[in-house]
A and B are shown apart, each in its own frame.
Chain A
Amino acid sequence: MSRTAFRIPAPPEVVVAPARLLGQVVRALGHRFPPSDRLFTQMHNVGNNSAVFISVTLGFLGLILVYQGCVQTLKVLPDLSGVGAAFIFAMVRTFGPTITGMMIATRVGAGIAAEIGSMTVTDQIEAMKVANSDPVSYILGPRFVSCVVMTPILWVFGTLVGVLFGYLMGHWRFGIATQTFLDLGLVSYHDVVIGFLKALSYGIVIPVLAADAGFKARGGSEGVGWATTTAVVNASFAVIVLDFVISTLSFLLGY
């Protein structure tokens, strides 16, 4: 009996702890929403301060995807008219959200983990607890809301920048006409929804994983280094896995 019985294995700690933290922060936000001044500071940090970084990375990505696309297409066909549409489709649905998500995991995730980690190792988190202030609500609350709001916005921004640079490459290097390149024919309504869902899920997961690593920091500066590293790796990996899960589900559902 016991050998044949199907037992669900206990989920590993790396999943359980962030899930619990997510529950805590959502409950804390329902209880008390962060005041707007602290929220705007964080939104500015997550959104505006990431804009240049995301422009550079997504810009280079757009350039290179169109370059490769054109070069490879020219090997089989002399006609480049389909490249723009395929590129925009891939940007909206996959590369836009996922590379933006990876970049936010890198910049914002590392930032949150570094901040919370150094607060943890210098006992600031304990000082909050003993003053009856909830660190999850006070520290993570505004950062969580900012990430959830700003990641989809940065997805739109990053996708636009990527498409713009891709267009520049296609237009100037390969002479594709503007109307031919900026062809939204392959992008349908549900591609946009899927891109948005991906961005939103990254926005939820990144701050929670980063904060989890930060709260677990132990020791001095090694602890902070550990927390930051862990946050970047876990958050980036979570972005890839979520992208895979959402893409697979949408494929299987026929969207």
Chain B
Amino acid sequence: MPGRSLDTGPAGAAAASRRPRFLDAVSAALAIAVRPVGKGFLDACTIVGGMTLLQVRIFRAMIPPSFDYDETLRQFEKVGVRSLAVVIMTSLFVGALMLVQTGNFVRDTGATSMVGWATGLTVLAEVGPVLIGLMFSGRVGANNTAELGTMTITEQVDALRVLGIDPVRHLVVPRFVAMCVMLVLLTCIGDLFAITGAAIACQLIVGIDVRVFWQGLLEGHLVGEFVMGLVKGFFFGGAISIVSCYWGLRVEGGAEGVGRAVNNSVVTSAIAIFVVNFLVTMLWV
């Protein structure tokens, strides 16, 4: 700005001094309103781009398969053992919860035969996989970010690179495989417990005979919904592993850096879960 007003003569300077004041006000207002949006958009692009790149590198390591098999087995155990309890507890409550909600409806309409079908549908197709995915992201994804983040700031990841070991093949792919497979199995187990929870709530809280519930559930022909839930589990597992590895490998700074990365990781995972859930349902149904 000063550079330009120098070479326009006195008249130009007067005009320039009038116009910029107005323009400054406009651009200041725009900056306040637009800059956060633009910055948020650019940040989102960086994150999505980085994750896509990580995804590509994962596939390159898997086709043809050349990654650390022992580490993969270890991750299977860790992921499964770590999250089984929390998935079971969550599922029991979610099943019971959904049944009580349906119970509100049924009490108003008197359509007791609907209970099994409606609860089964919401639990197997939508709410079950999403809530199990969110809990899994909190338990396993967050932990994974913290673990990789600690390795990153203590320069263990750099040490691997120096030894000629590719961190993606050694650290990321095993986690990716383990989380994809494990979340399918966990969704399966979770569905079982959610139905159990719903059945218990049906008999004890809502006061409808369990047999009515079973009958409704079985006559609903929900196999397709069940399979869709498992497919969702598979994609959620993939999304959570990529998100959590991405944030873990990007940690900077000390302990606060790890905390912030875990926070970002769970937030991004939650967004990914809802978006993936939407896409799978839209393509499937």
Contacts and interface: CB of A to CB of B under 8 A. Distances in A.
Touch between chains A and B, by CB atoms below 8 Å = yes
Interface in B236-285: 254-260, 262-263, 266-267, 270-271, 274-275, 277-278, 281-282, 285
B168 interface: no
B139 interface: yes
Contact of A225 (B126, B134, B147): B147
A195 interface: no
Given A52-B40, A118-B255, A107 B263 contact: yes
A226 B146 contact: yes
Interface in A47-68: 52-53, 56-57, 60-61, 63-65, 67-68
A56 B142 CA distance: 20
A118 B260 CA distance: 10
Contact of B150 (A86, A118, A221): A221
Interface of B is mostly: helix
Contact of A224 (B94, B146, B206): B146
Interface of A is mostly: helix
Given A68-B285, A247-B101, A251-B206, A225 B149 contact: yes
B93 A240 contact: yes
A64 B90 contact: no
Contacts of A60: 274-275, 277-278
A102 B134 CA distance: 8
B171 interface: no
A18 to B, nearest CB: 17
A232 B93 contact: no
| Interface size range on B against A | 35 or more
B267 A106 contact: yes
Given A102-B134, A236-B138, A225 B146 contact: yes
A121 interface: yes
Interface string A68-86: 1001100000000000001
| Interface size range on A against B | 35 or more
Contact of A221 (B94, B205, B255, B285): B255
A68 B209 CA distance: 27
A114 B131 CA distance: 23
A228 B262 contact: yes
Interface in B37-61: 40
A223 interface: yes
B146 A229 contact: yes
Given A63-B278, A68-B281, A106-B270, A228 B263 contact: yes
Contact of B256 (A68, A90, A118, A233): A118
Given A94-B101, A220-B255, A221-B149, A229 B96 contact: no
B265 to A, nearest CB: 9
B135 interface: yes
Contact of A114 (B40, B94, B259): B259
A143 interface: no
B202 to A, nearest CB: 12
A133 interface: no
A174 interface: no
Interface in B139-175: 139, 142-143, 145-147, 149-150, 153-154
A110 interface: yes
A94 to B, nearest CB: 5
A52 B154 CA distance: 33
Contacts of B131: 102, 240
B64 to A, nearest CB: 34
Interface in A215-241: 220-229, 232-233, 236-237, 240-241
Contacts of B81: none
A61 to B, nearest CB: 6
B89 interface: yes
B126 A65 contact: yes
B231 to A, nearest CB: 15
A221 B248 CA distance: 12
26 contacts: A53-B270, A56-B275, A63-B278, A64-B277, A67-B285, A68-B125, A72-B121, A86-B105, A106-B266, A106-B267, A114-B259, A114-B262, A118-B258, A118-B259, A220-B150, A225-B147, A225-B149, A228-B146, A228-B259, A229-B143, A232-B142, A236-B134, A237-B135, A240-B131, A241-B93, A244-B100
Given A52-B40, A220-B150, A221-B146, 12 more contacts: A56-B275, A60-B277, A72-B121, A106-B267, A107-B263, A225-B143, A228-B262, A237-B89, A248-B96, A248-B100, A251-B100, A251-B206
